């Protein structure tokens, strides 16, 4: 499964899941535009790793909550690559900017979540398609569990924002199918080196310990795990999959919260 000669833009690829996807695509021969918002050093470190894998790319800065900066970012991609084969919408605003319960959240916090997710995805896809030919691949990173449940109260803005992204995935999949462009979402569960690491240490420990029991695979995911799946979704072998939200969570989403764990695990 080679992606030799492909060109990708992955937002939020300086760290975490975005970096895991960038490195996996680079191993498959893809040139990568490494996007960051604030941490240029981390982005350049990712680019160094990409080059160690025998590929190449460049570093690009933008605030994805700004449509104007998104357009500028894609113009730079056009100037550097001349075309685009893969667009991964991964960047997410930091948790403190939106993390508040539904009765307390401000409209500013709500708008930050919406601007960085569905609005950024809407603008990004339109810009990406201008640079794509047939067999283009568009992937959005989501957290579908937070879109369907309501128990993690401070996640309300991002849960609603990710639900909107998943809806856009389906609409874009239909709109772009005749052009041979697929549009899908990947929904990781809790993943190491991601939003989890921005939570208090005691919360991180509780989540890790919980998933040793709850997740059938008995561990959290890693950025490399998600990178493997993203690479497959970018391949020609995945050309018949579009409009889907694919859970990439080691089976956590198929567990039943109404049944005690000892019964479920057998």
Report field, pTM of the whole predicted structure over 0.85: yes
The domains of the chain, with CATH numbers, are 7-247 (3.40.50.720)
- Average pLDDT, stretch 64-88? 98
For the chain, give the percent of residues with pLDDT over 90. 82
For the chain, give the percent of residues with pLDDT over 70. 100
Q: What is the pLDDT of residues 195-235, one digit of tens each?
A: 777 777 888 888 888 888 899 999 999 999 999 999 999 99
- Average pLDDT, stretch 36-57? 97
pLDDT of residue 266: 67
Closest by Cα among 160, 254, 265, 167 to 212: 265
| CA separation for the pair 23, 197 (Å, rounded) | 20
Q: How many CB atoms lie within 10 A of CB 78?
A: 14
Strand, coil or helix: 32: strand
| CA separation for the pair 16, 152 (Å, rounded) | 22
Report yes or no: 85 and 6 within 8 Å, Cβ to Cβ. Answer: yes
The structure tokens listed for 218 are: 């008995």
- Average pLDDT, stretch 243-260? 93
Distance of CA 178 to the CA centre of its chain: 24
CA atoms within 13 A on the CB side of 60: 29
């Amino acid at each position: 499964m080679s992606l030799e000669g492909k060109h990708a833009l992955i937002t939020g690829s300086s760290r975490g899941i975005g970096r895991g996807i960038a490195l996996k695509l680079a191993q498959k021969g893809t040139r990568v535009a490494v996007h960051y918002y604030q941490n240029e050093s981390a982005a350049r470190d990712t680019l160094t790793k990409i080059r160690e894998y025998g590929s190449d790319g460049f570093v690009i800065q933008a605030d994805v909550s700004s449509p104007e900066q998104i357009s500028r970012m894609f113009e730079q991609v056009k100037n550097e690559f001349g075309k685009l084969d893969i667009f991964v919408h991964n960047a997410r605003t930091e948790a403190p900017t939106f993390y508040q319960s539904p009765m307390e959240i401000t409209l500013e916090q709500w708008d930050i979540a919406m601007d960085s997710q569905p609005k950024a995805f809407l603008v990004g896809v339109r810009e990406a398609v201008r640079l794509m030919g047939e067999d283009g691949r568009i992937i959005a990173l989501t957290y579908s569990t937070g879109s369907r449940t309501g128990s993690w109260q401070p996640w309300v803005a991002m849960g609603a924002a990710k639900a909107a992204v998943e809806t856009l995935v389906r609409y874009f999949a239909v709109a772009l199918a005749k052009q041979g462009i697929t549009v899908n979402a990947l929904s990781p569960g809790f993943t190491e080196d991601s939003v989890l690491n921005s939570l208090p240490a005691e919360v991180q420990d509780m989540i890790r310990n919980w998933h040793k029991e709850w997740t059938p695979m008995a561990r959290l995911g890693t950025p490399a795990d998600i990178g493997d799946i993203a690479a497959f979704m970018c391949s020609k072998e995945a050309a018949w999959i579009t409009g889907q939200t694919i859970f990439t969570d080691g089976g956590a989403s198929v567990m039943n919260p109404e049944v005690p764990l000892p019964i479920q695990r057998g």
